[in-house]
Amino acid sequence: MTEAARHDSADSGAPVEGAPAHHIRSYVRREGRITSAQEEALEQLWPRYGIDPAGTVLDLPTIFGRRAPLAVEIGFGSGDHLLSSAQARPDTDFIGIEVHRPGAGRVLQQADKLGLTNLRVLCTDAVEVLRQSLPAASVDEVVIFFPDPWPKKRHQKRRLVQPAFVELLARVLRPGGRLRMATDWADYARHMLEVMATASQFSNVAGEGGAIPRPADRPLTRFEARGLRLGHEVADFEFVRK
């Protein structure tokens, strides 16, 4: 679940200059219970599926052993959408970013069972990955489904979708690349639209202030199911990098 300085400085693979050294984190590490199988997967399968960026720019062709379109999912949770997408689209490479180890361990388990070769995982802060690790204009799709809504007003500065974060997304997305988001919190949906309305690098597929129908490839997550039980309306958005 899970700041660029100026977009015009992002024409190379180098980290964005002028970005603040520290940022307000959009997450708290609430690990919950990690199973022995998930722990074992993290230990044994990390060399195959895990990426440790260490503040360097990733060499994507070397990591995946090919050049292919790249999709990045931020805050993949239990990984259902990430895994199903990687399985359904073998010609696309996928990077999942998740700070919570149980979810990462589950994805490694399932990726191994499915024999996926087009999936890699980072268990770290997505902001740092966007700022330092991904080359400019290297990503074809970014997915952010049901990020922590931080509903209390005093906590809303922790929301992931902020103008500085969108600048980082603009840096790594190629022209024509897609940003897909979903939330079941009406206030966060309004916030997302307000932030994206100020992002001159993006256009809304549904038109200004609009939402798209629920995508057929987005599985029902437990967060979405809980929101629906509580009477929340789910909003899906898609934006194109100009």
Q: How confident is the model at residue 84 (pLDDT cuts 50, 70, 90)?
A: very high
For 100-157, how does the pLDDT look when each residue is reduced to its tens digit (9 = 90+)?
A: 999 999 999 999 999 999 999 999 999 999 999 999 999 999 999 999 999 998 878 9
pLDDT for res 85? 97
Establish if 68 belongs to a structural domain.
yes
Establish if 24 belongs to a structural domain.
no
Which residues of the chain form beta strands (DSSP E)? Answer: 70-74, 93-97, 119-122, 139-145, 173-183, 202-204, 235-241
The domain total for the chain is 1
- Determine whether 148 is an active site residue: yes
Establish if 2 belongs to a structural domain.
no
Residue 8 to residue 199: CA distance in whole angstroms: 14
Which residue out of 80, 93, 140, 148 is catalytically annotated?
148
| Between 53 and 196, the higher pLDDT residue | 196
Establish if 57 belongs to a structural domain.
yes
Q: How confident is the model at residue 2 (pLDDT cuts 50, 70, 90)?
A: very low
CATH number for position 170: 3.40.50.150
Establish if 76 belongs to a structural domain.
yes
pLDDT for res 14? 37
**Domain containing 143: what range?**
31-241
SS3 call for 203: strand
Establish if 21 belongs to a structural domain.
no
* pTM score, whole prediction: 0.86
Q: What DSSP state is assigned to residue 170?
A: H
- The pLDDT of 174-199, averaged and rounded, is 97
